[in-house]
Structure 1
Amino acid sequence: MPPRRFLAAALAVATVAAGTTAAAAAPPPSPVTTQNPISSSFADTFADPAVIQGRDGYWYAYATSDPLVAGGPFGLMHMARTKDFGSWEYLGTVFNDSTKPAWAAPGSFFWAPDIRYFGGRYVMYFTVTDTAANPGGDPAIGVATAPTPSGPWTATDGPVVAPKPDGNGGYFGNIDPAMLTAADGKRYMYSGGFYGGISVTELSPDGLHSVGTPTQVTIGDRYEGAYVVYRDGWYYLMGSSSNCCAGPTTGYTVFAGRSKSPRGPFLDKDGASMNESRVGGTTVITQNGNKWIGTGHHAFVTDAAGQDHIVYHAIDRGTPWLTDPFGINRRPMLIDRIDWIDGWPRTRAGLGPSDTPQPAPTTGSAAGINSTDPASGIRGATRLAGDSLGGPTASLRGVAATKQAAPAGSVRVDADVRLGKSFTTVLGKGAVVASVTGNKVVVVAGRRTATAVLPADFDRSQWNKLSVQVAGTTVTVRVSDAGLGDLYAEAQLVAPGLKLDSAPVSWLGSAEVDNLTVRSVAAPVRKLAPVPQIGALLAGDEFDNGLGAAWSWVRPDANAVVADGNLSWPLQNTDLVGSGNNAGLLFHQTPAGDSWIAETKLHLDLGEYDIRNYQQAGMIAYLNDDDFARLGDVSIWRTRQTEFGRELVARADGATSFGGAAIGRQASTMWMRLAYHRNAAGEHVYQAGTSIDGTNWTWGASWALPAGTTPKLGLYAHGDQTGSNPPPVATFDYLRFYTSK
């Protein structure tokens, strides 16, 4: 229908709806809060979580096959559900020994489920660590389907993405699946890990087979745990970096890049690719110095108010092990708010994981709607019994409207729908009109119109997700599989001066509706949380006149020379990690007080792409050779990264654990900062920041050294395998200490 006729008809519907006596909007239920970890009521660990809202209104969560509780047996992936994210019910395992994939080797593990809904069924992708075809470690991606989100799950007779030979007699790390339905009408599978990188493979329309040639989208050695969402015209690829499972030194961190194509290339906010040696990535979540470390392997959910949330696992550094040290890591499930700031997803505006009560995702509906029995709140609706997937549904034919008014201002209407030939949603007495008609999604607001085309094979007879959202003056209408960042089509426009009155939501056309929610849109957070800022210069050395009395050595290195305003230090073929403990370290006196920032400028040419494990130099906060935090510019296999690593004694016999958290972009010349403060427990907390221009800083992970100690701070230059002769030279321009604003 042409826009003018379309708008006129919709306005007539809105007039009819407005002419009825609409009951006053009832106040929404009292807000629910969550407290991390949200899985504590039923599990000690719930790693690699995936989440979906089922047709029955519950939110279902799935996890990898670790034992659920300390001392428990391995499961074959786990399931739980909740209505409000505050209380949970454990549902058992996805598979048992008789239903698990027959093509998996007997000793295979099942990791990292990814849950989707399309084609009238639930589809779960997962890692099979070892197949019967090549016993010994040839990971593949499996798939299973079910009529309900709790099963029963039926695995297919082969992998959806087969093992990938590495050409050397082994196999790449083909793990951690994430599926996406994209605007081009195709389905894509992202999978892979540190060995081989993440690749994207097109899937058949039923999602059960891979087709075509994979495209690599991240370099090996950096990312695993992919998850992809579409927002505002961009595909965002997110991946977890560093070791997931190093107990109390786990530094897992999630980074993002974005692209206009689901095949990439994915670039970070500074234009750096996630698929190059000096690897890019914009921080989504990293540890902040509270009890949570190792924040990663996540999923995204969008609540009834349009607020995104990150669901992820993390490790309580006080109780890091599920089994004995160096056994299974204890990784419970956490959730936190995602804020989109300047086009990038940031957890709690950059604050990172929460350890205090937080507002739970908004569930249920306002405007007098019972989301699981929507017909009861809609005039003109017919109540249907529904099916095995959910409770009663609402059949809308002709004109229908909510019995109560929707809130004024920013509003989101979200529902599972089976669409007729034409279905129109009208908000604010006709201020916004959104229609799914024929093969198009059309939205009209004011004098502006936006249109998007549905895929040619879009099946309106199946249950899909329809969202109509007005956030300020931006109107977005999306048709998708299940509201997990996927889409079949999205129409979006900005209508200057748009204001919605409080009025019933009205509909014209035909559809069957379930899980209907009408909610005010969550107020967006648009500004990053404050980051450390330097104040007045306290102390330091510009390396103009040799090393003064403020400096001291552990294992002096005569090759470190002060000349021409620099400290030049050839990388030693040594290391501190593990039992090495033979590297030279140079320390400077630190300022008095409980808060300051140390900064250095470093030049170190590590080249690109070749293997120089693990050449590095930078700053170190040090108690002893087995208890330190090290910020370095480092070569890790083919990548060049900035890493904030931590080593500590993890077992009574003195065995140490080491892990690291990646920070920002690497370059041959870098600026580094360690922001120090002492927390309420008396611990010494150091947060790392890096820059490639000395002006724009990326602040990353924090590590805490124990209370009751006196750490040193200084410089280092080493690598346990230098990989070049002569070794490169680390050149430090200065070490300065500033007050912290």
Structure 2
Amino acid sequence: MYVTVTDTTVSPDGGDFAVGAATAPTPTGPWTFADEPVVAPRAGGGGGWLWTIDPSQFTDVDGTPYLYYGSYYGGVSVTELSPDGLRAVGTPTLVAIDNKFEGSYVLRHDGWYYLFASTANCCAGPATGYSVHVGRSRSPRGPFVDREGLTLTASRAGGTPVLTQNGNRWIGVGHNGFLTDLSGQDWIVYHGIDRADPYLDEPFGINERPMLIDRLDWVDGWPVVNAGAGPSDGDRPAPVTTGRVDERFQDVALTGWRRDGDWRVTDGQLRGTGTLTHHTTTGGDVRAEADLRPAGARAAGVTLGDRVDVARGLLVARDGRRTATAPLPAGFVPDHRHHLAVEVRGDRLVAALSPARLGDQLAAVTLRLDRPPTGRLGLVAAGGVAEFDNVSVARLHRPVRRTVPAPRVGGILPQFSDEFDGGLGTPWQWVRPDPGATVADGALRWPVRSADLTGTGNDAGVLLRDAPTGDYVVETKVTLDLGEETVRNYQQAGLVAYVDDDRFARLSQVAIWNTRQVEYGYELPFAGQPVYGGTIVGTPAATTWLRLAHRVDPVTGEHEFRAGSSRDGRTWTWGGVWTFPADTTPPDRPGRVRRGRAGGHRRVRLPAIPPVVTWTDGPRGAASDRPTGPPAPTGGGPVTCREPPGPTR
């Protein structure tokens, strides 16, 4: 068991976190802590101690154990572990950049390694924007890249959203784990915050973060939660925990099984040699599972009309005519218990052997069958005694093939749009005018100022214009070259849905320490003071396209704004949703327009949600809980907002 140790003896100043380990003879203990840390406290180059937290263990197909750990200060790293799992060995590898990711979890799926990591702030009460992003690699050491091929270690760090808030009660959904039910359906477990009940002891104090669970789907090689719909609320189908065959071997008589050989049940474990066949017929697409200890057997496994064995250092699948094999790791120990899963869908059989049933296969094989099996479940041990437990057969889950649709964008609404080719006309209104903002050559240019809207300062200029009613999408193109790697806190530019200085949702590309991110921040009044947090969308470029998609919840009347970003204006990444109460109405002087066709959103070019842009570089407004560091530079060049030409826009 790996834990974060928050108080060590390395430094009297605190913050000297480490990863410790404890061992036990059973999963329920008793636990004994090792005397030395697995990963000791690490000094930070800029002072203090790197955040050595959030350990997550993974075993590779060659049997090598790894440990992932780290957080915003220092990034996420992976290290190889000693065979006993109690020491880090070799040189660690950075797999996710600092100041963006933490809470890592790695699993192997279809030959890819997927690094799940959480981003933004975990604990800002009703403004918490925690979410889960992912990258994948062919190696457990990376490099991990997102759907667009962007690495998670770059200054403009990649990361494809897996789980983000969708406008219902749950916000700040992140720091995930993983499981597979008996039907083969994957599930994600994570914590979230009920935005109506964000603290354990109101107001403020400790954030209340219950554990949640939702379906994890795989579409075109990428994981998404609920087909991309995000966290659920209310009753949903539960994980399958009981199969058509569901044997825990509490019945010493082995009722329902036909024996051929010497089989017996002792202390809830099945031990024997020969074959043992269940009377239930398993037709159609099914998944069989068994906890298996080959021990002294030459071969041991399961049959579904076809046979899968752990035998002589191999995982072997055969259907009478064909055979598929995969080598077991050199350090494979037959006396250890392992988990064997066999799925049959149509004429395709897939079998995987793992140490912990958590997406960390030691071996996997695929076999095309001559015909779908229609036989019965059997257990096989040849050439010696094997041990079995937790044997099941369940109907195989039906995978999701498509994600839910992204917000659809309709035609331009000229009366709410601006190409900036004629100055700032009557529709525009200033809050704290900025004389440095100019319009020329089809662009609004606005110098970055050391000012902000977060907290009680509220000294940033804001430029407003009205928005339409109904569903619509606001889109703009923002050029703000923030460079890479250098610290330029917190220069930014983008769109804001604005009610007043203490209630707004701000979507901008921003410099956060050494990283460049698209942050979707939110401030609201709570218990008499403003609370600010944020969530992360896609990856910015020097020129980034931004969208805010507005809809009114038909039940609650709340205004929902979902954020999207693009590096080229064509491929979009959609992120989280912030909501405004029904009685606040962010577009406070709306015009009336028709809804877009087929449920789509009419498009507003550049601004429509007041205000359009706030660009700041003061030391406030970071989305995540980050360490202190060198002072933020001030100043910066102008930003450019311009719509791209083209007949399709």
Task: Give the structure-2-normalised TM-score.
Answer: 0.89
For residues 645-668 of structure 1, give each alpha carbon's deviation from its aligned partner in whole angstroms, at most 9, with x where no partner exists.
Answer: 11112223x2x2111100012111
The 2-side partners of 1:372 and 1:289 are apart by 46
Q: More displaced, 642-651 or 285-294?
A: 642-651
Is 1:728 matched with 2:649? no
Structure 2 SS opposite 1:338 = strand
Alignment equivalent of 1:435, drawn from 305, 309, 318: 309
Residue equivalent to 2:473: 597
Residue equivalent to 1:418: 293
Alignment of 1:290-689 (within 5 A): 290-367=168-245, 369=247, 375-380=254-259, 382-386=263-267, 392-406=268-282, 408-419=283-294, 420-427=297-304, 429-430=305-306, 433-445=307-319, 448-493=322-367, 495=368, 498-501=371-374, 503-505=376-378, 507=380, 509=382, 510-538=385-413, 539-593=416-470, 595-652=471-528, 654=529, 656-679=530-553, 680-689=555-564
Identity score, percent: 49
The 2-side partners of 1:625 and 1:514 are apart by 61
Partner letter of residue 266 of structure 2?
A
Contact 2:308 2:315 (C-alpha < 8 Å) held by counterparts? yes
Unaligned 5+ segments in structure 1 are 1-123, 387-391, 737-741
The 2-side partners of 1:334 and 1:349 are apart by 17
Contact 2:76 2:98 (C-alpha < 8 Å) held by counterparts? yes
Change (3 A) 1:498 1:673: farther
The 1-side partners of 2:142 and 2:30 are apart by 35
Residue equivalent to 2:141: 263
The 1-side partners of 2:455 and 2:215 are apart by 37
For residues 548-605 of structure 1, give each alpha carbon's deviation from its aligned partner in whole angstroms, at most 9, with x where no partner exists.
Answer: 2222111111111111111111112111111220111111210123x11111111111
The 2-side partners of 1:241 and 1:276 are apart by 15
Alignment equivalent of 1:153, drawn from 31, 48, 52: 31
Is 1:130 matched with 2:26? no
Structure 1 SS opposite 2:446 = strand
The 1-side partners of 2:508 and 2:363 are apart by 44
Partner letter of residue 661 of structure 1?
T
For residues 229-255 of structure 1, give each alpha carbon's deviation from its aligned partner in whole angstroms, at most 9, with x where no partner exists.
Answer: 011111111110011001000000001
Contact 1:371 1:517 (C-alpha < 8 Å) held by counterparts? no
Residue equivalent to 2:574: 699
For residues 658-706 of structure 1, give each alpha carbon's deviation from its aligned partner in whole angstroms, at most 9, with x where no partner exists.
Answer: 1110001211111111111111212111000111111111111000011
Is 1:139 matched with 2:17? yes
Residue equivalent to 1:246: 124
Partner letter of residue 556 of structure 2?
A
The 2-side partners of 1:673 and 1:238 are apart by 25
Residue equivalent to 1:217: 95
Shift of 1:384: 2.0
The 1-side partners of 2:200 and 2:179 are apart by 27
Change (3 A) 1:701 1:518: same
For residues 254-308 of structure 1, give each alpha carbon's deviation from its aligned partner in whole angstroms, at most 9, with x where no partner exists.
Answer: 0111111111111111111111101011111000000000000110011111111
Task: Give the structure-1-normalised TM-score.
Answer: 0.78
Partner letter of residue 228 of structure 1?
V
Unaligned 5+ segments in structure 2 are 588-608, 620-631
Structure 1 SS opposite 2:280 = coil
How many residues in Structure 1 have an aligned counterpart in Structure 2?
A: 600
Shift of 1:445: 4.8
Partner letter of residue 637 of structure 2?
P
Shift of 1:149: 2.5
Structure 2 SS opposite 1:133 = coil
Q: More displaced, 552-561 or 284-293?
A: 552-561
Contact 2:319 2:370 (C-alpha < 8 Å) held by counterparts? no
Contact 2:243 2:395 (C-alpha < 8 Å) held by counterparts? no
CA RMSD of aligned residues (A): 2.0
Shift of 1:371: 6.5
Residue equivalent to 2:585: 710
Residue equivalent to 2:596: none
Partner letter of residue 515 of structure 1?
N
Change (3 A) 1:720 1:604: closer
Shift of 1:184: 2.1
The 2-side partners of 1:371 and 1:473 are apart by 31
For residues 402-432 of structure 1, give each alpha carbon's deviation from its aligned partner in whole angstroms, at most 9, with x where no partner exists.
Answer: 12112x22211111111122024222x33xx
Q: More displaced, 544-553 or 295-304?
A: 544-553
The 2-side partners of 1:230 and 1:443 are apart by 20
The 1-side partners of 2:250 and 2:444 are apart by 68
The 1-side partners of 2:119 and 2:348 are apart by 34
Change (3 A) 1:287 1:633: same
Shift of 1:341: 0.7
Alignment equivalent of 2:85, drawn from 207, 212, 220: 207
For residues 18-65 of structure 1, give each alpha carbon's deviation from its aligned partner in whole angstroms, at most 9, with x where no partner exists.
Answer: xxxxxxxxxxxxxxxxxxxxxxxxxxxxxxxxxxxxxxxxxxxxxxxx
For residues 517-574 of structure 1, give each alpha carbon's deviation from its aligned partner in whole angstroms, at most 9, with x where no partner exists.
Answer: 1111110001111110111222311111112222211111111111111111111211
Contact 1:314 1:334 (C-alpha < 8 Å) held by counterparts? yes
Shift of 1:345: 1.0
The 1-side partners of 2:575 and 2:195 are apart by 18
Change (3 A) 1:725 1:156: closer
Shift of 1:401: 1.2
Residue equivalent to 1:43: none
Partner letter of residue 691 of structure 1?
S
